[in-house]
Structure 1
Amino acid sequence: MSFVSSYINLVPVTFAQSLIYSFLVLGIMIPFRLISFPDLTSEGAFPLGGCVCAALILAGYNPILATLVAVAAGGLAGASTAIIHLRFGINSLLAGILVFTGLYSINLRILGKSNAALFNADNIFNMIHPGIVTTVWMQILVFGVLVVALLLALRWFLTTQAGAALRVVGVNPDLAPSLGINLWTYTIVGLALANAMTALGGALIVQLQGYADVGMGLGVLINGLASLVIGETIVGRHTVTRQLLAPVLGAAVYYQLVSLGLSIGLQPSDLKLATAIFVLVTLALPSATGKRFQTREKMRA
């Protein structure tokens, strides 16, 4: 019974966390799925958003302004990855690695040290209601509203001409120029948008937890991919609406699985390995199943 009660107590806490991390998962989904650009910048954009926001708040700036600047910094990081890839012909994965590696040093410069506490500093949540930081159900309400607003905004954008052009770049980049679509423009915009959302997640989590750390992005990419895979397995990705819902639903399910793992006695340090194995199995299973099916068909023939 202790296992059940422990899990039940963790459910609302991890659900609130999953809503914040939905921004990160959406930021991972856009380059991977919409523009077919495997991007690793989120590993650096997430702490970048947190460090920029924390540094500005500690310097006495308004938390709303600090959050907006953090979002802009994340967008600049994503645009840098796109430009490195397009201008110098560097592989997209390597371009992302170069950017998030460099961002580690930049984050240290911005924050001035490896971590900083914001417990006594103002934050965007206290401006809305002082009880948000300490009340899980209020966090769920606020973050839920933010996620729904973002989903509606993205849904609207992807139905516009610019959004359709962005998706064309991902489906067939060779066809895009013949349709008058500038490949450079939409690739840069897509990665900037994705990493701006990732940085927003970092800025919000820093203000909620009350501290910033330059290493807070370690492993967020694999967590985000696991959430994305789970969401796409549940709802699919055949329509724009499903593509947008998959990251949010996947993040919710993934963090409930994390709660389950912690409840049965897994150490927090074991969760990264468990996540990596889960993603590997999930991605490899369809391929293995398909090969077995083809082998059976050949044997029957």
Structure 2
Amino acid sequence: MDVIQAYLNLVPVTLSQSLIYSFLVLGIMIPFRLLSFPDLTSEGAFPLGGCVCATLLMAGYSPLLATLAAILAGAGAGAATALVHLRFRINSLLAGILVFTALYSLNMRILGRSNVALFGADNIFMQINPAILSDVRLQVVTFAILIVAVLIALRWYLATQAGAAMRVIGINPDLAPSLGISIWTCTIAGLGIASGLTALGGALIVQLQGYADVGMGTGILINGLASLVIGETITGRQTVTRQLLAPVVGAAIYYQLVSLALSLGLQPSDLKVVTAAFVLVTLGLPMLRGRSALRETMRA
């Protein structure tokens, strides 16, 4: 009963956090699935959004302006990864590694120290409704409205000519030039949107928790991939709408599983290896099933 009660107490908190981290998972999904561009920039764009937002808040700027600046900074990081890949013909994974490695030093420069508290600074939640900071239910409602608005905007964009061109690049990049589609424009735009969403998640989590840390993105990529895998397993990838819903559904389930693991007594330091094992099993099962089915066919 103690385990169940501990888990139920954590459910609202982790649900609120999962809605924020949905922006991160969306930022991971867009390059991986829509552009077929394996990208690691999220590990640097997430703390970049938080550091930019925190620095501007401490300087007395409007929380809305600070949040928008964080989104633009994240979009710039994604565009930088795309340019490194396209201009220098560097592998997409290596380009992402180069950018997020450089972003660590940049984040230190922006923040001025490794971490900073924001307890005396204004934030966007205080401007909307100060009760959001203390009421988890209000947090869930607020973040749910925000993520729905973002999903609607993304669904609309992907239905436009520009969005369709981006999807064509992900499906068949060799065909794109013959259709008059600029690979440079679509890749830069796609990675910019993805990293901008990731930075938005970083800015929101910083304002909610009241502190920023340059290391807040460490290991966040594996959590996002685990959430994406879970979401795609449940929603599927047959349509654009399902693909957009997968990050939100996956993040909600993943962080509830984290709550359950903590309630069962698992140490927080063990969550990374459990997450890695889970992703490995989830990705490896289809291949193992395929081999098993092939053996059965050969025997028959």
- Shorter chain as denominator, the TM-score bin is over 0.9
1:12 matched residue in structure 2: 12
Q: Which amino acid in 1 is paired with 2:176?
A: A
Identity over aligned residues, as a percent?
72
Task: Give TM-score, length-normalised by structure 1.
Answer: 0.99
2:267 matched residue in structure 1: 267
Distance 1:261 1:232 in 2: 22
1:64 matched residue in structure 2: 64
Distance 1:89 1:156 in 2: 32
Q: Which amino acid in 2 is paired with 1:130?
A: P
In the alignment, does 2:172 pair up with 1:172?
yes
In the alignment, does 2:105 pair up with 1:105?
yes
Distance 1:266 1:209 in 2: 23
What is the CA-CA distance between 1:120 and the residue it aligns to? 1.3
What is the CA-CA distance between 1:295 and the residue it aligns to? 1.3
Distance 2:55 2:277 in 1: 36
What is the CA-CA distance between 1:224 and the residue it aligns to? 0.4
In the alignment, does 2:248 pair up with 1:256?
no
Distance 1:250 1:98 in 2: 28
Q: Which amino acid in 2 is paired with 1:102?
A: A
* SS of equivalent residue, structure 1 residue 245: helix
Q: Deviations for 1:189-220, whole angstroms, at most 9, x for unmatched residues?
A: 00000000000000000000000000000111
Q: Which amino acid in 2 is paired with 1:13?
A: V
What is the CA-CA distance between 1:130 and the residue it aligns to? 0.6
Q: Which amino acid in 1 is paired with 2:125?
A: F
Q: Deviations for 1:16-59, whole angstroms, at most 9, x for unmatched residues?
A: 00000000000000000000000000000000000000001001
1:189 matched residue in structure 2: 189
Identify unmatched segments of 5+ residues in structure 2: none
Distance 1:282 1:95 in 2: 27
2:23 matched residue in structure 1: 23
* SS of equivalent residue, structure 1 residue 131: helix
In the alignment, does 2:53 pair up with 1:53?
yes
Q: Give matches, 1:99-178, under 5 Å.
A: 99-178=99-178
Q: Which amino acid in 1 is paired with 2:193?
A: L
Aligned pairs, number: 300
Q: Which amino acid in 2 is paired with 1:189?
A: A
Distance 2:259 2:273 in 1: 15
In the alignment, does 2:271 pair up with 1:276?
no
CA RMSD for the aligned pairs? 0.5
What is the CA-CA distance between 1:181 and the residue it aligns to? 0.2
